[in-house]
């Protein structure tokens, strides 16, 4: 049962980032404009998309899981600080805490690894 829960957890943690990265491709100009309105250079958008698409795939299959989880933890914290630090707005405070909580999940994944049903574990055999 633990193996199934670990795999399910990896997939669920990954889904939001994968779908977000793919949606940024379709709404490239709007996303770039939003980033720039928040003081983040729009030229970073290809890196954001690459991270949001590739890292979740790595985590879902359990390959280089610790590194991908650390990258997404850092990304989640940076996004919280850069885009959701308006604590006077209750919705932004909720979004901030969501990002921080997700970072915590990724840090646990980085600390404990992907589990038995992963390419990381298969490679260690």
pLDDT tens digits for 94-105?
A: 999 999 999 999
| Alpha-carbon span 28 to 43, nearest angstrom | 11
Once rounded to an integer, what is the mean pLDDT over residues 4-32? 97
pLDDT at 53 over 70: yes
pLDDT at 22 over 80: yes
Predicted confidence (pLDDT) per residue in 66-115, tens digit: 999 999 999 999 999 999 999 999 999 999 999 999 999 999 999 999 99
The answer as to whether 125 is a domain residue is no
pLDDT at 123 over 90: no
Query: CA angle at residue 16 from 18 to 27, to 5 degrees?
Result: 60
Residue 125 has what pLDDT?
62
The answer as to whether 54 is a domain residue is yes
Q: State the residue range of the domain holding 96.
A: 2-116
The answer as to whether 11 is a domain residue is yes
Average pLDDT, whole number, for the chain? 97
pLDDT at 124 over 90: no
The answer as to whether 121 is a domain residue is no
Q: How many domains does the chain have?
A: 1
Q: What's the pTM value of the predicted model, to 2 decimals?
A: 0.94
The answer as to whether 123 is a domain residue is no
E strand residue ranges, the chain: none
The answer as to whether 124 is a domain residue is no
The answer as to whether 106 is a domain residue is yes
Residue pair 59/114 in contact (Cβ under 8 Å)? The answer is yes
The answer as to whether 10 is a domain residue is yes
């Amino acid at each position: 049962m633990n193996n199934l829960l670990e795999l399910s957890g990896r997939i669920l943690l990954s889904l939001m980032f994968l779908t977000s990265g793919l949606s940024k491709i379709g709404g490239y100009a709007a996303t770039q404009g939003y980033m720039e309105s928040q003081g983040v250079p729009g030229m970073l958008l290809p890196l954001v998309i690459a991270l949001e698409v590739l890292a979740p795939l790595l985590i879902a299959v359990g390959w280089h899981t610790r590194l991908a989880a650390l990258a997404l933890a850092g990304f989640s914290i940076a996004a919280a600080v850069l885009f959701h630090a308006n604590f006077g707005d209750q919705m932004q405070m909720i979004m901030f805490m969501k990002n921080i909580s997700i970072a915590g999940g990724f840090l646990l994944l980085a600390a404990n690894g992907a589990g038995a049903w992963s390419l990381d574990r298969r490679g260690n055999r």
